[in-house]
Structure 1
Amino acid sequence: MSDPALTLYYDGKCPFCLAEMTRLARWDREQGSVLAFVDIAQPGFDPSPLKAGMAELNAQLYALRRDGRVLVGVDSMLAAYTLAGRGYLVWPLRAPLLRSVLSFFYRVFARHRYTMSRLLGYKPACGTDVCTPGNPFLTKRSKP
């Protein structure tokens, strides 16, 4: 894909994050592949296109739209799930009151994503520098 509608910048060392990106990638293929995925944990990753440092990228999910606009946190999720044909899964993010509450909980979850991954049963299956999801609830295991 040469010009994705949205590029997601995710933490590939986070088992939950990797599993969600894998799921989004599968759904995206059904929609014609309009998403791209960049693992910020890979050696040599350059955050400069996002005009953000690694501390910010490690705090929340970032996305870059085709038009150059940067989305952060729940805005990234809303755009990604909608483009992947699963906007109904994130409909609460469209309601202002729910969005505020869910944004708060998302930031808490993102800050503690490794612990939350472990508590939810997501276990990393890592080689030297590549991880694949290890969740007992997932039947298909492929890297985005």
Structure 2
Amino acid sequence: MTELTIFYDGGCPLCVSEMRHLCRFDSKQKITLQDIHAEGFAQRFPHIDPVRADQMLHGQLASGEMIYALDVTYTAWTLVGKRHWVAVLRWPLIKQVSHWVYLFFAKHRSRISKLLTGSDRCEVCEIKRGEL
């Protein structure tokens, strides 16, 4: 059963890389991924503003509660049994600093992707669980 739906930027090489990495550990399929740029996204998820979701990672828990930014990251990695990788994000001082770092990354992820991967956007960045 899906416990978290992540609404991610499917054109961002770094974002797609993290989602692929996350899927490798999601053997119980607790997480569903939704590309905010996919055809029909607005019709399937009218409650998600794609512009806002492009500015900051959005997630929806099975209860319907929305979570954002590093709360999505923390929850996702916890669900796949890797909470120890992200536990530091909950430490009080680190939480504040990491939030600002995340906002900087989110705003400049295309440039950061270009710097790290050589590509600021990807034309075909599909995530298929069977390929992982």
Q: Structure 1: which 5+ runs fail to align? A: 133-141
- In the alignment, the residues of structure 1 paired with residue 91 and residue 33 of structure 2 have an alpha-carbon distance, to the nearest angstrom, of 27
Cα pair distance change 1:79/1:46, threshold 3 Å: same
RMSD, aligned α-carbons = 2.0
Q: Contact 2:10 / 2:16 at 8 angstroms: preserved in 1?
A: yes
- TM-score using structure 2 length: 0.87
Match of 1:9 in 2: 7
Q: Contact 1:50 / 1:70 at 8 angstroms: preserved in 2?
A: no
* Cα distance, 1:119 vs structure 2: 1.3
Number of residue equivalences: 128
Match of 2:52 in 1: 56
Cα pair distance change 1:64/1:38, threshold 3 Å: same
* Cα distance, 1:76 vs structure 2: 0.5
Aligned amino acid, residue 53 of structure 2: L
Match of 2:42 in 1: 46
Which residue among 89, 101, 111 is the counterpart of 2:97?
A: 101
- In the alignment, the residues of structure 2 paired with residue 12 and residue 19 of structure 1 have an alpha-carbon distance, to the nearest angstrom, of 10
Cα pair distance change 1:15/1:122, threshold 3 Å: farther
2:129 equivalent to 1:131: no
- TM-score using structure 1 length: 0.80
Match of 2:79 in 1: 83
- In the alignment, the residues of structure 2 paired with residue 69 and residue 113 of structure 1 have an alpha-carbon distance, to the nearest angstrom, of 26
User: Which structure has greater helix proportion?
Assistant: 2
Q: Give the fraction of aligned pairs with identical amino acids, expressed as a percent.
A: 32
Cα pair distance change 1:17/1:47, threshold 3 Å: farther
- 2:26 partner SS: helix
Cα pair distance change 1:50/1:122, threshold 3 Å: farther
